[in-house]
């Protein structure tokens, strides 16, 4: 029996309209009422999904959790208690920030509880609207003010895939640090500490809860979801997932993120019901 479901947020749990559909909401509530943990597993901050937690009935609940920043932090929902942080060294973030500035990329720098953005543009504002609120605009061309603050992740918004791949190659050849480099939402290249990925975060939480890897379902759509899809007993790609994610998945949903993919997984693998 599966005891823990962990799911990516954007383009997986959330529709393109940035919503959890009513059918998916009902399925999640049914699963958690049956004792299954439902754990959002996002590249974003746990603070950015509080409204989603309220909708799912998981907000401010003991023994319910969120994995944030691609595994950079594990949070218990009750009082948003930070249980684990796997941050990046400041010197490495500073080097990445300078690379991003030179490319004039829109840069996001995440601490445990803040998001700072450099070189914001209208396209990025439109994408973040309804997903992320309360970010802070950086006006200086440096991050010295963060040198004593744990940094969980830094990402660049690069519009085209070729540009993101080129940036990955450049960083790998110029930064002397074993970064965890992933992609998300077909717009971001993301940089985490090598100890932080969605799979490690999932397995650390499962161990804490006494849950075996074989009892975990992981659902996603893009490269930053691959570690948890590979680590889980059942790795799932939603129908709108990238082809390389589908290739690694044990199951591919019939439905996409706009048509209750998460409900499909819950009904099929938790309650043994076919759609």
Taken in order of first residue, the domains within the chain and their CATH numbers are 4-85+196-269 (3.40.50.1000), 90-192 (3.30.1240.10)
Structure tokens at 118: 């450099």
Give 274's pLDDT tier (boundaries 50, 70, 90).
confident
Is 275's pLDDT higher than 80? Answer: no
Is 51's pLDDT higher than 90? Answer: yes
Give the pLDDT of residue 126: 94
In whole angstroms, give the CA distance from residue 42 to residue 126: 19
What are the pLDDT digits (tens) for 161-191?
Answer: 999 999 999 999 999 999 999 999 999 999 9
pTM for the structure as a whole: 0.91
Environment class of 150 (CB within 10 Å of its CB; exposed 0-12, middle 13-18, buried 19+):
middle
Express as a percent the part of the chain with pLDDT over 90. 98
User: Count of CB atoms within 10 A of residue 163's CB?
Assistant: 14
Tokens 């939480």 map to which residue? 205
Is 78's pLDDT higher than 90? Answer: yes
In whole angstroms, give the CA distance from residue 19 to residue 25: 10
Structure tokens at 162: 């070729």
Query: Mean per-residue pLDDT for 205-210?
Result: 98
């Amino acid at each position: 029996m599966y005891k823990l479901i962990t799911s990516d947020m954007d383009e997986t749990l959330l529709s393109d309209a940035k919503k959890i559909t009513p059918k998916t909401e009902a399925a999640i509530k049914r699963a958690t009422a049956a004792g299954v943990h439902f754990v959002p597993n996002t590249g974003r901050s746990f603070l950015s999904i509080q409204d989603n937690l309220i909708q799912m009935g998981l907000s401010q609940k003991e023994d319910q959790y969120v994995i944030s920043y691609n595994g950079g932090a594990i949070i218990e929902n009750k009082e948003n208690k930070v249980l684990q942080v796997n941050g990046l060294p400041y010197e490495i973030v500073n080097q990445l920030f300078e690379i991003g500035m030179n490319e004039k990329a829109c840069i996001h720098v995440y601490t445990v509880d803040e998001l700072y953005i450099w070189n914001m543009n209208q396209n990025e504002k439109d994408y973040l609207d309804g997903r992320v609120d309360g970010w802070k605009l950086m006006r200086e061309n440096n991050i010295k003010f963060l040198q004593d603050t744990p940094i969980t992740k830094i990402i660049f918004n690069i519009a085209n895939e070729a540009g993101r791949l080129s940036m990955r190659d450049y960083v790998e050849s110029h930064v002397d640090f074993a970064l965890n480099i992933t992609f998300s939402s077909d717009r971001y290249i993301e940089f985490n500490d090598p100890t932080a990925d969605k799979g490690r975060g999932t397995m650390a939480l499962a161990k804490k809860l006494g849950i075996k890897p074989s009892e975990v379902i992981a659902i996603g759509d893009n490269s930053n979801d691959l570690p948890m899809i590979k680590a889980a007993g059942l790795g799932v790609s939603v129908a709108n997932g990238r082809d390389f994610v589908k290739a690694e998945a044990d199951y591919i949903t019939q439905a996409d993120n706009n048509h209750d993919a998460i409900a499909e997984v819950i009904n099929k693998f938790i309650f043994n019901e076919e759609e």
